[in-house]
Structure 1
Amino acid sequence: MDILQRDRFELLSAYLDSEVTADERKQVQEWLKSDPKMQCLYTRLVKLRQGLQTIPVPESEQSAEQAVNQVFGRINRRRSQRVAAWGGAAIAALFVGALSGILPGNHSLSPQLAKAPISETAAEPLMVALNHPAVEIPKAAVAAPEKFVKPSVDGSDAKGYQN
């Protein structure tokens, strides 16, 4: 369907729905008088419209108010279930905390500071051997200086390269 046919179809559909201006109504009426394709399309659209109006609408088994009440009832049940679950978890946490405080053990509820371990051996003075290290340190390599080449008078060095 090209653009012109689509525009004509939309205008014809608007004509059937009484949604056109006076000029558009005159245009559609002229098409219906002169164009057999538009007459056929008009007839088909009128039959389709009548067929849709005669289709029975199924009745709902319950009213809208009953449906709304059911939806809100489900929402309230879910909310109460969620509150009950969180409440149960909180009670379980309190129960575990209470049991851990009652059961015997080497812990008390007051904070304790860490204590340094007491060594039973006598402390010996620390001795450091300054002249004899524990790990042998290798000597650093010394690079020999390159021979200095005196430049010649003409600006080249001893090998003949220009500076």
Structure 2
Amino acid sequence: MTNFNHENDHSTRHETLLRDRFELLSAYIDGEVSAAERQQVEEWLSTDPSLQQLHRRLLHLQHAFETLPAPASQQSSQQIADAVFERVERSSRWKWLVGGFAAAATVAVAAISTLVPGEQSMIPQMAKERANDAPIASTKSETEPLLIALDKPLVDIPKAPVAPDAPRKNLPAEDTRSN
């Protein structure tokens, strides 16, 4: 089992090394490496035949992409730009038109709801006092502030019973007889 893990670890490291070399070679072909990296890649190319073959294949692929003909456009770039701006402008006009109709509809509904009287009116109304409702009686005047007496509780609090004094044993008893 240890041998399997060792082989798997070695295989993973080898794949990582190959991927790193491929990325560095690709950057070398694109001219995106530092001087030290360029020197390293050139050393690999002088000693490693498989890297030389990969280098040739990547150069061939790069050349093929560069010489690939671009598809001819049926419209000029100016015609495409004009069509895009026309569509944006049309979309903008449509949004303004819809927004204007929505605002006009809101104003119309508000105007109609203020003109329609009655219980079903959509205007918010304040609550009204009914004539048969009696006002709530108050024992204190409404302007008198609330007073709280901290030294006089509202309810009498019973005091805890106190034990009578115990007779003193150490003191001589007083003679209550008259002489």
Alignment TM-score, normalising by the size of structure 2: 0.47
Distance 1:43 1:94, change over 3 A: closer
Q: Work out whether 1:61 is the aligned partner of 2:110.
A: no
Aligned to 1:71: 84
Distance 1:90 1:30, change over 3 A: closer
Shift of residue 15 of structure 1?
Answer: 1.5
Shift of residue 44 of structure 1?
Answer: 0.9
Aligned to 1:35: 48
Could you tell me how far apart the structure 2 residues matched to 1:88 and 1:63 are?
Answer: 38
Q: Which moved more, 1:45-54 or 1:66-75?
A: 66-75
Identity %: 44
Aligned to 2:29: 16
Q: Supply the RMSD in Å over aligned alpha carbons.
A: 3.5
Mapping for residues 39-118 of structure 1, pairs under 5 Å: 39-88=52-101
Shift of residue 86 of structure 1?
Answer: 4.3
Distance 1:31 1:76, change over 3 A: same
Aligned to 1:154: none
Amino acid at match of 2:77: A
Q: Which runs of 5+ in 1 are unaligned?
A: 107-113, 117-163
Question: When the two structures are aligned, how many residues end up with a matched partner?
Answer: 113
Could you tell me how far apart the structure 2 residues matched to 1:22 and 1:85 are?
Answer: 62
Q: What does the per-residue CA deviation read over 1:42-86, in whole Å, with 9 as the maximum and x for residues that have no partner?
A: 111011111111110112222333322222211221222233344
Shift of residue 35 of structure 1?
Answer: 1.0
Alignment TM-score, normalising by the size of structure 1: 0.50
Could you tell me how far apart the structure 2 residues matched to 1:78 and 1:31 are?
Answer: 59
Aligned to 2:20: 7
